[in-house]
Copies of this chain bind each other. A is one copy, B any other.
Amino acid sequence: MGIRELAKHLNISIGTVSRALNGRGDVNPETRRRVLAAAAELGYSPNQSGRSLRQGSTSAIAFMLQTYSGAELYGEPFFIGLFSGVQEVLARHGLDLIVLLNTPDGDHEAQLRRVVERRLADGILIPWTRRIDPRLDYLIQRGFPFAALGRSESGGDHPWLDLDFEQAADVAIDRLAGFGHRRIGLVNNGHDLMHGHILLAGYRRALARHGIGFDESLVRTEEMTEAGGYRLAEGLLRDGPLPTALLVGSERVAVGVYRRLNEAGIRPGRDIAIIGGMIDSPASRFLSPALTCFRLSLHDLGVRLAEALLATMPDHAEAYGGGTVQALWPLELVPRESDLMRLGG
């Protein structure tokens, strides 16, 4: 079933069929009706390869999802929420979202080159940038449209959105310091991910603001998983006096921390204050004690991210004119139980 066949069935030319299907103005309404009816009846839609080849664009946007364990910083719930916003915007432009998972061999760069060189999509969204991220330089060099989720020292002047980790660190440390804490630990991700660096910088700055000295032994790098949280707590218990408060990267880490502390008879919110997680993932509320964390609108972030990308694509920019998007996304503290303890004094 190609356009040729459909045209023959209707006794008109393929040109007219194409114009009718694509909503061009110069088609007799009755003709258009017949074409649409026949297409629906016969289950015809234009072949995407033919279309892409002719138009020089694929009508698809790729999202490079990395699944190596340490990248589960916010866990997958993060992406599900994000995608709904991204798709909402893409749908306005008739664009498909295709999610590409990193291959088992894990060569992100090769995979990215493949997308660009084979032209698998018209634009690409790059989450979890690294501090040094050759992907961004490559995309700029190729002139391929993209938007990054996360800042980076690479890539020069390019569109990005990022969570405001500095602000989150400020708010968290203010709150904990206000409760009387001065030994506040931080769990950070590894992998040279940019937000790890930023969170650490924010943490240091906020401590300094409160006149609290930086203690290297209170900062740990771990996988952002339950197992990582467990190992972290294990290490803290082993290494000496526990910090009185802890800032952790995700509710997944918190689950592991809770577990290990629980085994040691230590209860968050009573014996140690914990703030964790940037996206208020569904579990946070239902842990015992409920986890104080941060919240943001993933849907809205997805909308904005998609718009930032489209703004760089000539065919779609008109609706989103006005320069390269580079913006921080606010995080709102959700106070719950896990940090509800005031230090004596």
Interface residues of chain A, those whose CB is within 8 Å of chain B, are: 43-53, 58, 65, 67, 75-77, 79-80, 83-84, 87-88, 91, 96-101, 103-104, 113-114, 117-120, 142, 225-227, 229-230, 252, 255-256, 258-259, 262-263, 282-283, 285-288, 290
Contacts and interface: CB of A to CB of B under 8 A. Distances in A.
Given A83-B101, A96-B120, A226 B285 contact: yes
A191 B110 CA distance: 40
Given A48-B118, A67-B84, A227-B285, 17 more contacts: A43-B113, A43-B117, A45-B114, A47-B53, A47-B118, A48-B49, A48-B119, A49-B119, A53-B53, A76-B77, A97-B101, A226-B285, A227-B286, A255-B286, A255-B287, A258-B288, A283-B283
A256 B229 CA distance: 20
Contacts of A97: 100-101
Nearest to A285: B226
B282 A45 contact: no
Contacts of A259: 286-288, 290
Contact of A44 (B75, B80, B101, B117): B117
A234 B83 CA distance: 32
Contacts of A49: 48-50, 52-53, 58, 119
4 nearest A-B residue pairs (beta carbon): A76-B76, A45-B117, A49-B52, A99-B99
A31 to B, nearest CB: 21
A45 B58 CA distance: 16
A247 B286 CA distance: 19
B88 A282 contact: no
Contacts of A142: 43
Contacts of A50: 49, 53
A84 B106 CA distance: 11
A138 to B, nearest CB: 9
22 contacts: A43-B117, A43-B142, A44-B117, A45-B113, A46-B118, A48-B118, A49-B49, A49-B50, A49-B53, A49-B58, A49-B119, A65-B99, A67-B80, A76-B80, A91-B103, A96-B100, A99-B99, A230-B286, A258-B286, A259-B290, A262-B288, A263-B288
A334 to B, nearest CB: 15
Contacts of A104: 84, 87-88, 91
Contacts of A75: 76
Most buried by B among A65, A88, A98: A98
A227 B282 contact: yes
Contacts of A91: 103-104
A87 B99 contact: no
A43 B53 CA distance: 19
Given A53-B49, A119-B48, A286 B114 contact: no
